[in-house]
Chains A and B, each alone.
Chain A
């Protein structure tokens, strides 16, 4: 029996431009909005089986050589992270470059950086879901995976920076022999609750979303071990419509719960700074500014990951140029918000008339860390403005470079906020400079290794794209418009159609006409 479907030859690899109708018509550009219709979100595929196959074969076949190379590199970085963390734990936080005024530096910079990265996944899966943005289906699965791995990286840093790591459980309100409790008025404790809730809820959301696709992998699995492992992970999902009914309600509920949650998490992270009285930290703009920055950096990371992933695993028909174009628009928008926040901070510092506040901001831009500040402004405010041009938004190499710039810029944003404010505080006699040690740098680099290892394993073994959700947004999924071989002209035909270059085109290669197999 044909368990893995009636798969004809796969669509040939897309050529870079839209050649006019020759025999092998391959569509690569769906960024134009067809008049009176919707641009297709899935290119060159009209059958559900094709989508299944395209996604599942990544998990079912040997990965390309580049995967092994990347995995070995990331594994090496992860090993180095292990060395750095162990050295830190066995020696003490003195191995970092921290000093008396600068008691937070790379550790909290990395924490905030990774938590920020983690925001795009939930934004895509929850907020875009509530706004009925169907294009999210192509990218939500691995953006959510990215969220979870980023939050794992983030959680590492507060865990190890407390000094006595073996007492980290004091963060939680557990009964203990000292009869002491955490101090719930402290933003640092809010952070513990916010980040751990965020991690748990993201994990649940990700897993629940993945169950139907794990069932697909289970049903296609050939090996005994794969059948067992995917079977266990799919917890007996059978695609029952009665189950789907509750599942869809649950998904909507989870999205509605995750939406305020994602906005709260980075707000709470910003309270770590805003609630204190350090000049440069004590500002009310921090919560929205941090959230915008988090979304900004998160989307940049999604683009940085999606571009190589779609090339490497041949997913260009599912993660289309339109998806990337849309993400670049969000990067542009949030980049402008971040730029606005930077200038508003300066304005308020001047307008407040507070001496220390004014000094803190002038010192940021022209003090000992001026270079970090201007890297931040260049990467976060200036270069993303190139995304106003569609040519840039749809150019794969340019968007990749710009997204890397954003990642760099956002790392420096956190560094600037944290280190410049601490290094030059109220009393000039206590000023100092922070110089990172090799352990600081090794831990930072190693965290990327941890992230990379987790992400590469995810790409290799789990459904990278939400198969069921993608199928549901194909025009063929509409039970009224396309159903019983009534092809064109149904009332829902404009749903997400084939229309881009010419409405008649798909009829030439209508795969249903060749669907003869049982």
Chain B
């Protein structure tokens, strides 16, 4: 196996400016990329990805993507929202002490129509809304964070051919930092997947 003698690619072995980001293979149909993804996964690559214009059903499983823990985190956020909702109302409408929340604030026991101070049933709408609010904001926020997303530049976005990843083409990208990445060998491997085009993506 020539892989044994291969230089480590993620080290800046050639000239630092020309170290590529990775290799990109283009496919035309969901079935082709599904097949390719299974084979790349089977070949043992780790730093690779499929870029598709819409979520191809089952492709994440074929790539060996593990199920995200996002729902658990969102559950935590929702529970926090419910707690915040309860405490906010209990403090502002039923408490008579002061706490420090950036400034000193004092509760105000609201006595309305002789109703009990802790009128929990009347607080349910606000508790519910805050549960939903916190869950929804954290769903969106955590999804983006876990995807490393608010991101203004990326080597792939500088590639002209890659523009069709949001239109009608399906791409497999294997990154150069993958331990199994070896430019010539990986390129041959990607061609063998039935790609209509394989090219190097420059780092930028």
Interface residues of A (CB under 8 A from B): 1-5, 47-49, 52, 173, 175, 179-185, 187, 189-190, 193-194, 197, 200-201, 204-205, 207-208, 212, 215-216, 218-220, 231-232, 235-250, 253-254, 257-258, 260-261, 264, 268, 271, 467-469, 471-472, 476-480, 482-486, 515, 518
Determine if A219 and B164 form an interchain contact, defined as CB atoms under 8 angstroms apart. yes
Contact of B57 among A187, A232, A478 (CB under 8 A): A478
Provide the bound-state CA to CA distance between A478 and B30, in Å: 7
Determine if A250 and B34 form an interchain contact, defined as CB atoms under 8 angstroms apart. no
Contact of A248 among B34, B55, B103, B151 (CB under 8 A): B55
Determine if A249 and B70 form an interchain contact, defined as CB atoms under 8 angstroms apart. yes
Residues of B within 8 A of A179 (CB): 105-106, 108
Residues of B within 8 A of A48 (CB): 53-54, 167-168
Cβ of B185 under 8 Å from chain A: no
Determine if B56 and A241 form an interchain contact, defined as CB atoms under 8 angstroms apart. yes
Cβ of B150 under 8 Å from chain A: yes
Residues of B within 8 A of A189 (CB): 126
Q: Nearest chain-B residue to A469 (Cβ)?
A: B54
Provide the bound-state CA to CA distance between A175 and B108, in Å: 12
Q: A175-B103, A257-B136 are in contact. Are A185 and B115 (CB under 8 A)?
A: yes
Within the complex, what minimum Cβ distance (angstroms) separates B153 from chain A? 7
Residues of A within 8 A of B139 (CB): 250, 253-254, 257
**Chain A to chain B contacts (Cβ below 8 Å), 29 pairs:** A4-B167, A52-B168, A179-B108, A183-B93, A184-B89, A185-B122, A190-B125, A194-B129, A197-B130, A200-B136, A201-B136, A212-B54, A236-B151, A236-B152, A236-B154, A237-B149, A239-B51, A239-B166, A241-B49, A241-B55, A241-B63, A241-B65, A242-B60, A242-B63, A244-B55, A253-B139, A264-B128, A482-B30, A483-B30
Cβ of B144 under 8 Å from chain A: yes
Q: A183-B112, A236-B152 are in contact. Are A205 and B136 (CB under 8 A)?
A: yes
Determine if A246 and B137 form an interchain contact, defined as CB atoms under 8 angstroms apart. no
Within the complex, what minimum Cβ distance (angstroms) separates B50 from chain A? 4
Provide the bound-state CA to CA distance between A52 and B163, in Å: 12
Interface residues of B (CB under 8 A from A): 28-35, 37, 49-60, 63, 65, 67-68, 70-71, 74, 88-89, 92-93, 101-103, 105-108, 110, 112, 115, 119, 122-123, 125-126, 128-130, 132-133, 135-137, 139-140, 142-144, 146-147, 149-154, 156-157, 160-168, 196-197
Given A184-B92, A238-B162, 14 further pairs, Cβ under 8 A: A1-B163, A212-B53, A216-B167, A232-B152, A241-B50, A249-B70, A249-B143, A257-B139, A471-B54, A476-B29, A478-B30, A478-B57, A479-B59, A483-B34
Determine if B146 and A246 form an interchain contact, defined as CB atoms under 8 angstroms apart. yes
